Structure 1
């Protein structure tokens, strides 16, 4: 069990760090675009902003799945990277298909990745919710300004 923790915890910490980077980049770009077009953002621009936020967070999650897959390859659990990525994606998304299982000495890595994945999807959801709430707020303000004219 200790070897699982020694292999998995550094990967979890790396994923947490990467998620922080993706959240920061996503929110900074969102705010930069919002401020650059202050007061004149169309519905299309709102859709682009929301889609960009979703895409960046999704890419962040895919990168983390790839990192876990690399760990699985390093410890010799899978023969090819595509299989390791598939298994990693199933774990990260907490699907738990069970069509592939890791060897008994490394099985604890699956639940560790699942815990990491559910946390990262929660963070991604929070970022996207914040973006949606911001779009709603600005849309309501814009409608109120028009109605007040």
Structure 2
């Protein structure tokens, strides 16, 4: 336990990097599951699909991605708390959220001998948020194509035809 209470930088980097790899792996698995679900739902979408369903699908995607990030930050906070680096789980989670989002302005900090972990948490956040952003760009591209198809379909129709044509 003496090694963990006062690690050398190599041990600190190894433990941080291994945890980061786990976090990024979890993110990959989560992103794939969210993408698969989106693809399964999207094949049933047409330009006559009610807008509320499309909005609901988008809300579920955003909620799923947020839940994935909250899970990942909890996976970071658990060992920080378990190793006693920050005495309460709530404060550990707060510290991890501050680091993961690269905000870094919190009053909670790691002991000096573990301070390299903070930037590693930030690196995992930068990587996973970037990956999430690319997924949202892909999803929004599909929504944009759908919006264009709807606009083409409604092009040239009178307002009375549009009002009566869809609920």
Give the TM-score, by structure 2 length.
0.83
8 Å Cα contact 1:26/1:53 also seen in 2: yes
Aligned length: 149
Q: What is the aligned counterpart of 2:45 among 37, 41, 49? A: 37
Residues of 1 paired with 2:11 and 2:87: CA distance? Answer: 21
* 1:69-113 alpha-carbon deviations (Å, 9 max, x no partner): 012013211121111101110010111114122111100000000
Q: Deviations over 1:25-81 (max 9, x none)?
A: 111111111112344322212211211111111111101110110120132111211
- Give the distance between the partners of 2:117 and 2:132, measured in 1 at CA: 22
Matched with 2:139 is 131
Farther off after superposition, 94-103 or 139-148: 139-148
Does residue 2 of structure 1 match 2:14? no
Match of 2:148 in 1: 140
Change (3 A) 1:148 1:33: farther
Given candidates 85, 97, 107, the residue that maps to 1:77 is 85
SS in 2 for 1:77: coil
Q: Which has the higher helix share?
A: 1
Contact 1:50 1:128 (8 Å CA) reproduced: no
In 1, Cα distance between equivalents of 2:51 and 2:144: 11
Work out whether residues 46 and 146 of structure 2, in 8 Å CA contact, stay in contact via their aligned partners in 1: no
Tell me the secondary structure at the aligned position of residue 37 of structure 1: coil
Larger Rg: 2
Q: What SS does the corresponding residue of 1:36 show, helix, strand or coil?
A: coil
Choose the corresponding residue for 2:67, options 47, 55, 59.
59
The whole-number CA distance in structure 1 between the counterparts of 2:117 and 2:108 is 13
Gaps of 5+ in 2: 1-8, 158-167
State TM-score, norm by structure 1. 0.92
Kept in 2, the 8 Å contact 1:90–1:96? The answer is yes
User: In structure 2, the residue corresponding to 1:79 is in which secondary structure?
Assistant: coil
2:110 corresponds in structure 1 to 102
Quote how far apart the aligned CAs of 1:17 are: 0.9
